[in-house]
């Protein structure tokens, strides 16, 4: 399938298929500046696992020879817009999922085949999104079309077309070759359902913010009833020992709070005082809170 491309603004015409694919992809993505990531998970002791670059579109084209050399040396070549942007990446899609997207008015701005019958789609929104809204949109799209939720956030890398996918599982042992990452479509247009979809996403984000604020207010009312010397969960969140790992913080706080006489409802309220939307829908968030509480109680029981 030949990629359909938006009008190019490059000064020089493409000279080969790799150049044409890259030119069409970055033109359709239409970011002012891109981050390029050259990832080699099995890098040697003297090598960097990730080589980052921050380039405009023209600089990417000028660097194709070097990118090819790095790709042949085992590096996967990735791309994403730098900073907040107007795109959402949906990873790990099937052909049927792409058909569903188009039928439902979620026509991608860019479609890339990363390996045989496995696709990534970039959807273009009518405006630049905040990090919170962008992440919520990516997660909603992944859930709606069966994409990879682990890759659904505001700044996830997608593959740059024209190079090979160097994941070991894609190596053709009979030929010793890796599959090329192919640009399938590069329309570069805003999807028809954008306004309606974003209105729902923004409303959900606002609702979650309101819910978290309400929980914080409830927690503030509960805390005086607890022991005066009981640390708040924010103290644990600020503790460098947990390195910002929310799951570790939640468990450590729950164990601590129960040991100091807090009730299940008080611990649950504290756990909900951070954004848990990355855990999934409300049922999954509830399940996470309940699992954390049970694990904390079990940890205490083993320690007795």
Tell me: the pLDDT tens digits for 56-68? 999 999 999 999 9
The first and second tokens of residue 162, run together, are 């024209």
Q: What is the CATH number of domain 197-303?
A: 1.10.1240
What are 125-159's pLDDT values in tens digits? 999 999 999 999 999 999 999 999 989 999 999 99
CA nearest to 20, candidates 32, 29, 10, 30: 10
What is the homologous superfamily of the domain 17-190 according to CATH? RepB DNA-primase, N-terminal domain (3.30.70.1790)
- Residue 13's pLDDT band, with cuts at 50, 70 and 90, is low
In the predicted model, what is the mean pLDDT of the chain?
89
What pTM does this model have?
0.73
Whether the per-residue pLDDT at 303 is higher than 70: the answer is no
Mean pLDDT, residues 83-93 taken together: 98
Distance CA 110, CA 159 (A): 11
Q: Mean pLDDT over residues 2-11, rounded?
A: 50
Map out the domains of the chain as residue ranges.
17-190, 197-303
pLDDT grade for 1, boundaries at 50, 70 and 90: very low
pLDDT at 282: 82
pLDDT at 230: 76
Integer Cα distance of 138 and 119 in angstroms? 15
Task: Measure the CA–CA gap between 145 and 61, rounded to whole angstroms.
Answer: 32
């Amino acid at each position: 399938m030949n990629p359909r491309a938006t009008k190019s603004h490059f000064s020089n015409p493409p000279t080969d298929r790799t150049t044409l694919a890259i030119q069409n992809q970055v033109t359709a993505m239409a970011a002012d500046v891109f981050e390029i990531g050259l990832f080699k998970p099995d890098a040697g002791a003297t090598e960097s696992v990730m080589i980052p670059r921050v380039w405009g579109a023209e600089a990417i084209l000028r660097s194709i020879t070097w990118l090819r050399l790095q790709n042949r040396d085992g590096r996967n070549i990735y791309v994403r817009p730098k900073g907040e942007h107007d795109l959402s990446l949906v990873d790990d899609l099937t052909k049927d999922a792409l058909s569903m997207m188009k039928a439902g008015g979620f026509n991608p701005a860019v479609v890339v085949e990363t390996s045989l019958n496995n696709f990534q789609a970039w959807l273009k929104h009518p405006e630049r999104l905040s990090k919170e809204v962008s992440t919520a949109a990516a997660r909603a799209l992944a859930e709606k079309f069966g994409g990879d939720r682990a890759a659904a956030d505001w700044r996830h890398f997608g593959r740059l077309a024209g190079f090979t996918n160097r994941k070991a599982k894609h190596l053709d042992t009979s030929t010793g070759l890796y599959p090329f990452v192919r640009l399938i479509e590069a329309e570069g247009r805003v999807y028809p359902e954008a306004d309606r979809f974003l209105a729902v996403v923004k409303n959900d984000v606002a609702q979650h913010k309101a819910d978290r604020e309400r929980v914080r207010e409830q927690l503030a009312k509960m805390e005086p009833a607890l022991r005066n010397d009981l640390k708040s969960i924010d103290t644990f969140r600020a503790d460098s020992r947990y390195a910002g790992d929310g799951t570790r913080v939640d468990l450590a706080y729950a164990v601590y709070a129960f040991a100091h006489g807090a009730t299940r409802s008080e611990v649950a309220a504290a756990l909900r005082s951070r954004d848990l939307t990355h855990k999934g829908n409300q049922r999954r968030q509830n399940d996470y809170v309940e699992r954390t509480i049970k694990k904390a109680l079990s940890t205490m029981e083993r320690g007795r």
